[in-house]
């Protein structure tokens, strides 16, 4: 009976294409672009580059926390690469602190986008926001977390995204912070009421009152689920309770739940040394293996082939040393 082959001795390039695809579909974007996929072999890198299905959901919210995140692997470069690899098939995008240029990049490269989550807002202006949102008419889900929009911009969303079914306007606050009651302001609510196709709505820390909430319920006949928290000007009187009878309500909790677990993936290669019994690595080689394999629209096929040859030589030297 032949002895089992050690993992480090296996030729991972011999895996069938469907098996490689199955593995790649279980990896996050940081693992695909900045992680170990580029370290395996040429066939894995090519499979990751040539399968747009892998890039239908793009999450770049925590990329700056993922080593190696270098000058070459800027948020813009990674976004451009992921969107290019998606070949226009991206349907879900999650991002943090985008400026107007990066928001427009999403709108231009993902014309069939259906779900978008934006957290934080950086150097963004009404004109830039308006120009980008107009290019996303197929959007069905939109979540704005600490992404402060006024009533005018919410009205633009309602007009530009007629298929919108799920909308969230979320201002995250600490469960330990004191939350003062602000004067009632229904302008945002009246703009949201123009999103007539909504099935679900999330509002956290908004100043709408009973009139604003009533306008939303009356104008959104398909609304099924309403999640409201820290909207302190709402008083659930008999009239409003009757209006909400047909809707599943999540209203007022004792505390605000912690955010979902961080989706970033840390490569173990960056944390171990010889003293820990793990093989050391050359950071320059690691960046060569990963970043160059994906980043940059200017890299053509001939450059890729030459880079593959160099990487094969490096691996052979490493194996023989």
In a domain, 164, yes or no: yes
- In the three-class reduction of DSSP (H, G, I as helix; E, B as strand; rest coil), residue 311 is classed as helix
For the segment 250-263, the average pLDDT, to the nearest whole number, is: 43
In a domain, 307, yes or no: no
* Amino acid 67: pLDDT: 53
In a domain, 166, yes or no: yes
- In the three-class reduction of DSSP (H, G, I as helix; E, B as strand; rest coil), residue 151 is classed as helix
φ/ψ of residue 227, rounded to 5: -115, 110
The string of DSSP codes covering 232-249 is TT----HHHHHHGGGSEE
What is this structure's pTM? 0.71
Structure tokens at 233: 């000007």
* Amino acid 161: pLDDT: 98
In a domain, 67, yes or no: yes
Q: How confident is the model at residue 9 (pLDDT cuts 50, 70, 90)?
A: low
- Out of 96-100, 243-247, 303-307, which region has the weakest mean confidence (pLDDT)? 303-307
For the segment 10-30, the average pLDDT, to the nearest whole number, is: 62
Distance of CA 98 to the CA centre of its chain: 11
Tell me how far apart the alpha carbons of residues 253 and 251 are, in angstroms, rounded to a whole number: 7
**161 is in which domain, residue-wise?**
57-172+259-283
* Amino acid 74: pLDDT: 80
In a domain, 319, yes or no: no
In a domain, 317, yes or no: no
- Out of 71-80, 206-215, 294-303, which region has the weakest mean confidence (pLDDT)? 294-303
In a domain, 303, yes or no: no
In a domain, 288, yes or no: no
* Number of domain units in the chain: 1
Q: Report the CATH number at residue 66.
A: 3.80.10
* Amino acid 200: pLDDT: 97
Chain segment 259-288, per-residue pLDDT in tens? 333 333 333 333 333 344 434 434 444 344
* Residue 132 scores a pLDDT above 90: yes
* Residue 39 scores a pLDDT above 90: no
Q: How confident is the model at residue 129 (pLDDT cuts 50, 70, 90)?
A: very high
Chain segment 208-241, per-residue pLDDT in tens? 999 999 999 999 999 999 999 989 999 999 999 9
* Residue 255 scores a pLDDT above 50: no
């Amino acid at each position: 009976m032949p002895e089992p082959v050690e993992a480090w001795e296996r030729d991972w390039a011999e895996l069938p294409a469907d098996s490689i695809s199955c593995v790649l579909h279980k990896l996050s974007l940081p693992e695909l672009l900045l992680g170990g996929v580029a370290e395996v072999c040429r066939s894995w890198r090519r499979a990751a580059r040539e399968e747009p299905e892998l890039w239908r959901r793009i999450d770049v919210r925590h990329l700056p926390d993922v080593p190696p995140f270098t000058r070459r692997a800027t948020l813009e470069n990674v976004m451009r690469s992921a969107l290019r690899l998606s070949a226009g098939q991206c349907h879900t995008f999650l991002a943090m602190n985008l400026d107007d240029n990066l928001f427009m990049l999403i709108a231009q490269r993902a014309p069939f986008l259906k779900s978008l989550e934006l957290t934080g807002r950086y150097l963004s202006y009404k004109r830039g926001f308006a120009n980008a949102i107009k290019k996303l008419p197929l959007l069905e889900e939109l979540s704005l977390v600490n992404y402060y929009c006024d009533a005018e911009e919410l009205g633009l969303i309602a007009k530009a995204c007629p298929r919108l079914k799920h909308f969230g306007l979320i201002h995250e606050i600490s469960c330990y912070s004191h939350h003062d009651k602000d004067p009632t302001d229904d302008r945002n609510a009246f703009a949201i009421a123009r999103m007539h196709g909504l099935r679900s709505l999330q509002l956290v820390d908004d100043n709408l009152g009973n009139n604003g909430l009533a306008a939303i319920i009356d104008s959104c006949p398909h609304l099924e689920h309403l999640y409201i928290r820290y909207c302190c000007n709402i008083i659930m009187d008999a009239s409003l309770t009757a209006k909400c009878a047909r809707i599943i309500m999540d209203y007022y909790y004792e505390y605000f739940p912690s955010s979902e677990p961080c989706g970033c993936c840390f490569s173990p290669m960056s944390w171990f040394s010889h003293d820990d019994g793990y093989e050391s690595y050359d950071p320059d080689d690691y960046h060569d293996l990963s970043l160059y394999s994906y980043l940059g629209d200017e890299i053509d096929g001939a450059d890729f082939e030459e880079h593959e040859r160099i990487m094969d030589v490096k691996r052979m030297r490493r194996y023989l040393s």
